[in-house]
Amino acid sequence: MSKPKLATIWLDGCSGCHMSFLDMDELILEVAERADLVYGPLVDAKEFPEGVDVTLVEGAVGSSEDLRKVREVRERTRVLVAFGDCAVTGNVPSLRNPIGPRAVLETVYLEKPTHNAQIPSQLVPELLEEDLPVHAWVPVDVYLTGCPPSAARIYECVKRLLDGEAPETVSEAVAWKFG
């Protein structure tokens, strides 16, 4: 029997959750043993593969590209984990919501720069009107809160899911706090 497929993806967030994931120390070897890490910032794969068992989604959905990715991930994943506060609530990236994307772009690219002030329009995805949690767009199976979630809780969550535990019981087991 082949090993379950594990993927991670980094959307609108600071990558702190991925850092925390790496912070598992030697336990990461156990995860590597238990699963095939098929996609993520740590893996050299261009395309998000089909038939993934568990995907950890870090970050909120802030741009058209984030949205395209998260929909693709949802289609190709059995158990989707909203990984960290940005994915769960929008968290820091969502601080822009009260003022809207236009104001953010103007402040960052037009008012603040000392030279060559212009809003980039090529090769960068468009910002969505609001920066929203993952479950605003696609169904989420497990919410792993924390900014970031501790390595121990990430391990706990991944291990249980790889063991085939139901997402509901995993959710209960790893429920913690925001922040």
Partner 1 sequence: MSEVRTLQIDGKDVAARSDETILCAAEENEIHIPTLCHLEGLSDVGACRLCVVEVEGTPKLMAACTTTVEEGMKVTTTSERLVAYRRRAIEMLFVERNHICAVCVANNNCELQAHARNVGLDHFELPLMHPALPVDASHERFVMDHNRCILCTRCVRVCDEVEQAHTWDVAGRGTGARIVSDLGMPWGSSTTCTSCGKCVQVCPTGALFEKGRSISEPKARRPYLPYLVRVKERER
Partner 2 sequence: MSAAAPAGAQPPRASANVCQAASCLAMGSAQVCRALEAEVAAAGLDDVAVRRVGCLGLCAAGPLVEVPEQGRIFERVLPGDPSSREGLLASLKGEARGGRPVASDPFFSRQVKVVLERCGTVDPENIDDYLATGGYEALAKVAGSMSPDEVTSEVVKSGLRGRGGAGYPTGLKWRTVAKEAGAAGKFVVCNADEGDPGAFMDRSVMESSPHQVLEGMAIAGYAVGANRGYVYVRAEYPLAAERLALAIRQAERRGYLGARVAGTRFSFHVELRMGAGAYVCGEETALIASIQGERGTPRPRPPYPAASGLWGCPTLINNVETFANVPSIIVRGGEWFASIGTERSKGTKVFSLAGAVKNTGVVEVPMGLTLREIVFDIGGGLAPGRRFKAVQTGGPAGGCLPEELLDMPVDYESLTQAGSMMGSGGMIVMDDTTCMVDVAKFFMDFCRQESCGKCVPCRVGTHEMWRLLDRMTRGVASRWDLEQLESLAGMVRAMSLCGLGQGAPSPVFSTLRYFRDEYVAHIDEHVCPAGSCHMGTAEPAAAGVSPA
Least separation, in Å, of the C-beta of 28 and partner 1? Answer: 24
If binding is defined by CB under 8 A, does position 138 make contact with partner 2?
yes
Cα 73 versus chain centre, distance: 10
CA angle 172/145/42 to nearest 5° reads 115
**Residue 53: other Cβ atoms inside 10 A:** 18
Q: Measure the CA–CA gap between 160 and 154, rounded to whole angstroms.
A: 10
Which of these segments, 24-32, 39-47, 136-144, 146-154, binds partner 2 (CB under 8 A)? 136-144
Least separation, in Å, of the C-beta of 97 and partner 1? Answer: 4
Which of these segments, 23-31, 113-121, 153-161, 169-177, binds partner 1 (CB under 8 A)? 169-177
Least separation, in Å, of the C-beta of 79 and partner 2? Answer: 11
- Return the residue of 65, 137, 151, 165 that touches partner 2, per CB under 8 A: 137
Give φ, ψ of 46 to 5 degrees. Answer: -80, -45
The DSSP secondary-structure symbol of 25 reads T
Q: Measure the CA–CA gap between 23 and 1, rounded to whole angstroms.
A: 29
If binding is defined by CB under 8 A, does position 179 make contact with partner 1?
yes
Residues in the site for partner 2, rule: CB under 8 A?
A: 129-130, 132, 135-141, 143
